[in-house]
A and B are shown apart, each in its own frame.
Chain A
Amino acid sequence: SQTIHQWPATLVQPVGSPLSLECTVEGTSNPNLYWYRQAAGRGLQLLFYSVGIGQISSEVPQNLSASRPQDRQFILSSKKLLLSDSGFYLCASPQGQETQYFGPGTRLLVL
Chain B
Amino acid sequence: GQSLEQPSEVTAVEGAIVQINCTYQTSGFYGLSWYQQHDGGAPTFLSYNALDGLEETGRFSSFLSRSDSYGYLLLQELQMKDSASYFCAVRDRGSSNTGKLIFGQGTTLQVKP
Q: Number of residues in B with C-beta < 8 Å to the partner?
A: 23
Interface residues on A, range: 20 to 34
B45 touches A101 (CB 8 A): yes
B99, A94: Cβ atoms closer than 8 Å: yes
Contacts of A99 in B (CB 8 A): 33, 45, 48
A97 contact set on B, CB distance < 8 A: 99
Residues of B within 8 A of A44 (CB): 43, 87, 103
User: Using a CB-CB cutoff of 8 Å, which residues 40-98 of chain B contact chain A?
Assistant: 41-45, 48, 50, 87, 91, 97-98
Check B30–A98 contact: CB distance below 8 A. yes
B contact residues around A104 at 8 Å (CB)? 41-42
Instruction: Say yes or no: is B10 at the interface (Cβ < 8 Å to chain A).
Output: no
A32 and B43 contact, Cβ closer than 8 Å, known pairs A42-B105, A98-B31: no
A51 to chain B: which residues have CB within 8 Å?
97-98
Q: Is A100 in contact with B99, judged by CB distance below 8 angstroms?
A: yes
Give bound CA distance, A2 to B108, whole Å. 28
- A41 to B50 alpha-carbon distance, docked (Å): 28
| A46, B100: Cβ atoms closer than 8 Å | yes
Say yes or no: is B101 at the interface (Cβ < 8 Å to chain A).
yes
Is A42's CB under 8 angstroms from B106's CB?
A: yes
Check A43 for interface membership: any CB of B closer than 8 A.
Answer: yes
Bitwise interface map of B from 19 to 43 toward A, beta carbon under 8 Å scored 1, else 0:
0000000000011010000000111
Contact (Cβ within 8 A) B48 A105: no
B105 touches A90 (CB 8 A): no
The residues of B with any CB-CB pair to A shorter than 8 Å are: 30-31, 33, 41-45, 48, 50, 87, 91, 97-106, 108
Provide a sorted-by-A list of 17 A–B residue pairs whose CB atoms are within 8 angstroms: A41-B108, A42-B106, A43-B103, A43-B104, A43-B106, A44-B87, A46-B101, A49-B98, A90-B42, A95-B45, A97-B99, A98-B31, A98-B33, A98-B91, A99-B33, A100-B101, A102-B44
The chain A residues found within 8 Å of chain B, CB to CB, are 32, 34, 41-44, 46, 49, 51, 57, 90, 94-95, 97-105
